Amino acid sequence: MAYFDYTSAKPVDERVLEAMLPYMTESFGNPSSVHSYGFKAREAVQEAREKVAKLVNGGGGTVVFTSGATEANNLAIIGYAMRNARKGKHILVSAVEHMSVINPAKFLQKQGFEVEYIPVGKYGEVDVSFIDQKLRDDTILVSVQHANNEIGTIQPVEEISEVLAGKAALHIDATASVGQIEVDVEKIGADMLTISSNDIYGPKGVGALWIRKEAKLQPVILGGGQENGLRSGSENVPSIVGFGKAAEITAMEWREEAERLRRLRDRIIDNVLKIEESYLNGHPEKRLPNNVNVRFSYIEGESIVLSLDMAGIQASTGSACSSKTLQPSHVLMACGLKHEEAHGTLLLTLGRYNTDEDVDRLLEVLPGVIERLRSMSPLYRR
């Protein structure tokens, strides 16, 4: 098997699993309890919090643990907007954001907020000048990904931060970028930053929102007031411990790993683009080291994915959170592609356990798959 769907799901690193196990069987206390078991759990959660913050140079803020990146994005968008509505109700969101940002923004529109979508160019880069032009006295929030999870394009977040200059809060969804490129909240000027555990080989079902001390939010989940009142519910201690361990490992290893993945990525791109009428989606240079997003004329991405799976190669057509729908990717459409072009897309994402042999297998199988599918397509003419 050759797995090229690391953006959809990653395995838990064995070192992470080892760190988690004691908190499932021995140190199983509730962090809110006043006895020794509770103290040990509370101590473990705080240690993990510090490790996650350190990964993104987040000493100037706090980490709030959530059930994942989706909840963290909801907390950032809805929580910040609701808390700061008296300052204004104008929000800017990039057109290529994950649906866990776009749908909360749509929810806010129904609550009386005005949301404008920042356009992107053909490579998926946001138009910074649009942000500059649209900033108003009542603009309270701008939300832009650090890098796109589908096409891998890295956004000019530092430029955006300079344009904002504190006039509005900047939320950055770093789900796809943490562990792939440098993520430093001070350098990129983030007021809030979303991080996913599984995207750095930690357990699923846990994520975090880093919040600068000056940023004030309203909780979106109410209950016992855990996580400094911003996220109620008993903490998932084993998963949080695993998240912390994954952050610790990532901080030590990401640079070397990114260089290895970049080499594999470039080898795939160079060879796949030799196939007739194949095109690279996303920025050719400013892209994540693990991302290959290509489209092929005359065939559909779903048929490519199924054919590859039959050959023992796992891939995707786009975001795992929305790829079950038959609608073309909103990211590719925002980049100016036609429906039929967007439908012909194959997403290959590399990870920690990919090898040169995996790439060999992919490059051996893929050209034949494309040729066979095109031979059955009524649109294809030699």
What is the strand order of the sheet 291-296 is part of?
Answer: 278-280, 291-296, 345-349
Tokens of 29: 């206390």
Tokens of 181: 């490129």
Task: Considering the candidates 321, 333, 363, 365, report the single residue annotated as catalytic.
Answer: 321
**Could you tell me if 354 and 311 are in contact, meaning their C-beta atoms sit under 8 angstroms apart?**
no
Sorted by sequence, the CB contacts under 8 Å of residue 43 that are 6+ apart come out as: none
- Does 335 appear as a known binding residue? no
**Could you tell me if 305 and 315 are in contact, meaning their C-beta atoms sit under 8 angstroms apart?**
yes
* Chain centre to alpha carbon of residue 313: 23
Neighbours of 356 (CB within 10 A): 11
Q: Please identify which residue in the block is written with the tokens 């990114």.
A: 258
- Cα 180 to Cα 185: distance, rounded to the nearest angstrom: 15
Q: Concatenated DSSP letters for 153-183?
A: BBP-HHHHHHHHTTSSEEEEE-TTTBTTB--
- Does 271 appear as a known binding residue? no
- Does 234 appear as a known binding residue? yes
Respond yes or no: is residue 335 known to be catalytic. Answer: no
What φ, ψ does residue 265 adopt, rounded to 5°?
-60, -50
3-state secondary structure of 246: helix
List the binding residues. 70, 149, 234, 321
Catalogue the active-site residues: 321
List the binding residues for [2Fe-2S] cluster. 321
